Amino acid sequence: MTRRKRRVGTANAPARLGRIIPMLLLSLLIVALGVPAGLAVSPGFLGPARPPEPAAAGPWQQLPATLSDAGGSGSRANMKPLSADAPVPAAAAVAAQLDATLKTDGAGSFTGVVQDAATGEVLFDRAGDDVRAPASNIKLLTAAAALRTLGPDRRFSTKVVAGATPGTVVLTAGGDVLLGAGDSAPDAVLGHAGLGTLAQSTVRALQQAGVSGPISVLLDDSLFSGPALSPAWSPDDVAAGEIAPIFPLALNSARFDPGTTTGPRPQDAAMTAAEAFTARLVEAGGAAGLSVTPGVARATAAQKASKKTPDDGGGQAGQVLAAVESATVSQQVDLLMRTSDNYLTEVMGRMVAAASGKPANNEGAVAAVLQQIQELDVPSATLRAVDLAGLTLDNKVSARQLSALVRTITSGPDLRLRSALAGFPVAGLTGTLGSRYTDTSTAGGAGLVRAKTGTLNTVIALSGYVVDADGRLLVFSFIGNGLTPGAAGNRTALDRTASALAACGCR
């Protein structure tokens, strides 16, 4: 099956949008999350009080004027602040708007659901219960499951421990696949933990133990089990770098270079990272007079640290010599949502499985994620998942299920899920929506629509949330299947439809 390549990374938004806008929008949104629960509207989306001076729009809807229709039907001149008193749009009026925009360009069809976030009232329903291939919209499931199971503040530790054999250290994978090759970068997500820093800390620990070498490095990446590739993935996608064999240790989310987000990937990302660590250890050791043997091998069961092994002068076997910590799960979820990172999503699913007591393999990851979705009371009887990245047509999810999940994230009782809000790409500004919403038919949604994208050769999807012109929070999901490959009008149809919701004062 031929697929249109998913575009990973953030395209440059037009200069007129400014770089401060996404941070302003998201900061205001996060501030709103602190409002106590129990109010008429979800605590996460009660905005600040009306400012004392007249304002053209609520602060969450301050847009670059050049990207919106300031004088036509999309005018926001009369928009009101988000509040519990904002009127719920009339379903018939919403349907009239969306039926005019949600049309395919060629073959196939769109399904869709729009709900009022506070009440759950369905405002638009086009075959909303039909299960369809959702492409990368299925990543929403893993994002929610990771935040619930692991917690937003959890970090993954990459450790170096003393080996069972004198003169060996074991690089032990802990699930961080966003490692950097150099020094740790505390303000970054990708590269938050650096192998250079880990190597320097390891050398210091060995020096303090009086070890002079030679030291050899072993790799323990046994945290994950089973086949590293899902049988559902096309070899063509693997060859193209859409995905790669899954390991619990990798540099740059299994990319050769942090600045390159397309093309072939390392086929053994754990070994690639271990070799990079060993090279750094050789450098750091040489500068400190510690002999380190180049090269690395996978540790056998006998070579892994055993607490029964006596102290050999380099630390008792199993003793942690050095460690670096990843960015938080919340930050990693933000990244996987914003850039639609296939590799990171699959790794996060396996970490959910491990935390749930399930095998950390493809099947365990899918089962663990689906269990979490069921516990969120999202209607999931018909939901089927065979991978978590969304690279196969065998996944089946309905627009109603995705809309319900987005509503749970924005307005449900589990406040851990609010951490996913900032990861939804912002139309015209960030992530996979950064280069969209720039033409006259969709620009009215720029800065307002926040949605997860999904694209395969014959599939396109968009699920997210938006505050309408009256200040009402709406959640939505639109899924197109059986589409004409490469037909540009399908993406425009989704963007125009979401923009119509943003402009809606549908009475």
Partners of residue 465 on adjacent β-strands: 450, 475
DSSP 406-475: HHHHHHSS-GGGGGGGGGSPBTTTSGGGTT-S-STTTGGGTTT-EEEEEEETTEEEEEEEEE-TTS-EEE
Topology of domain 15-150+331-503 in CATH is Beta-lactamase (3.40.710)
Partners of residue 116 on adjacent β-strands: 474
**How many CB atoms sit inside 10 A of residue 325's CB?**
15
What percent helix, strand, coil does the chain show, rounded to 5? 35, 15, 50
**How many CB atoms sit inside 10 A of residue 147's CB?**
25
Contact 366, 138 (CB under 8 A): no
Altogether, the residues listed in the chain come to a count of 507
The model's pLDDT over 442-486, given as tens digits with 9 standing for 90+, comes to 999 999 999 999 999 999 999 999 999 999 999 999 999 999 999
Task: Please provide the distance, in angstroms rounded to a whole number, between the alpha carbons at the two ends of the chain.
Answer: 45
Residues 6+ apart with CB under 8 A from 423: 143, 333, 334, 335, 336, 337, 338
Can you give 252-271 as a three-state secondary structure string? CCCCCCCCCCCCCCCCCHHH
How far is 107 from 109, CA to CA, in rounded Å? 7
The model's pLDDT over 400-421, given as tens digits with 9 standing for 90+, comes to 999 999 999 999 999 999 999 9
How far is 339 from 179, CA to CA, in rounded Å? 17
Structure tokens at 219: 């790799």
Residues 6+ apart with CB under 8 A from 19: none
**Residues classed as catalytic:** 136, 139, 340
Domains in the chain: boundaries: 15-150+331-503, 157-327
The model's pLDDT over 475-485, given as tens digits with 9 standing for 90+, comes to 999 999 999 99
pLDDT tens, the chain, 507 aa long: 444 444 333 334 333 333 333 434 444 343 333 333 332 333 334 333 333 332 334 444 444 433 344 333 333 444 445 667 899 999 999 999 999 999 999 999 999 999 999 999 999 999 999 999 999 999 999 999 999 999 999 999 999 999 998 899 999 999 999 999 999 999 999 999 999 999 999 999 999 988 887 999 999 999 999 999 999 999 999 999 999 999 999 999 999 999 898 999 999 999 999 999 999 999 999 999 999 999 999 998 888 755 444 344 445 667 999 999 999 999 999 999 999 999 999 999 999 999 999 999 999 999 999 999 999 989 999 999 999 999 999 999 999 999 999 999 999 999 999 999 999 999 999 999 999 999 999 999 999 999 999 999 999 999 999 999 999 999 999 999 999 999 999 999 999 999 999 999 888
Contact 311, 166 (CB under 8 A): no
Structure tokens at 53: 């001076």
The vertex-315 CA angle with 313 and 318, nearest 5°, equals 140
